[in-house]
Amino acid sequence: MPQDQASPDKPQATAHPPGFACLRIAYAQTVRVFVAGELDVATVPQLDRALRQAAADAPLVVLDLRRLEFVGICGATLLLRADTRVRQAGGRLYIAHAPDELHRLLGLIGATDALDFGHQHSAAASPPRAQQIRVG
């Protein structure tokens, strides 16, 4: 068998870059999305899918970035687009534990006050009532 094809006893490579993870947890009227690793051009599509699904599931989406190690300009742009999309649908995107790097990037593009930042949110602190869903 050619080496390019996966055999049944070999694990198949995933399409997602190593070191990036996105986890969704559904709460009463909230979906919390945890991101870890690097948010760059390779990982933006995965987070975009998770945020779209979260916004379809609940009016409040809490994006927890405490484990984000790097964010590129395409990641910052995604967050701005996602925020606009969620607000237009009548919801809210709340960003918790944003790294300083994200604030600097938003400053560079003149969008310092465009996103809803903070470290705690009462709806996000309530215990989960539903399932955990790994995205990706």
The CATH number assigned to the domain holding 92 equals: 3.30.750.24
Domain of residue 37 covers: 21-68+88-134
63 contacts 79 by C-beta, under 8 angstroms: yes
Number of domains in the chain: 1
Is 134 a residue whose pLDDT tops 80?
no
- The residue with greater pLDDT, 101 or 17, is 101
Return d(Cα 120, Cα 3) in angstroms, integer: 49
Q: Please state the pTM of the whole predicted model.
A: 0.74
What letter would DSSP give residue 128?
A: P
- pLDDT (0 to 100) of residue 112: 84
* Amino acid letter, 13: A
> Is residue 6 included in any domain, yes or no?
no
> Is residue 126 included in any domain, yes or no?
yes
3: left (phi over 0), alpha (psi -120 to 50) or beta: alpha
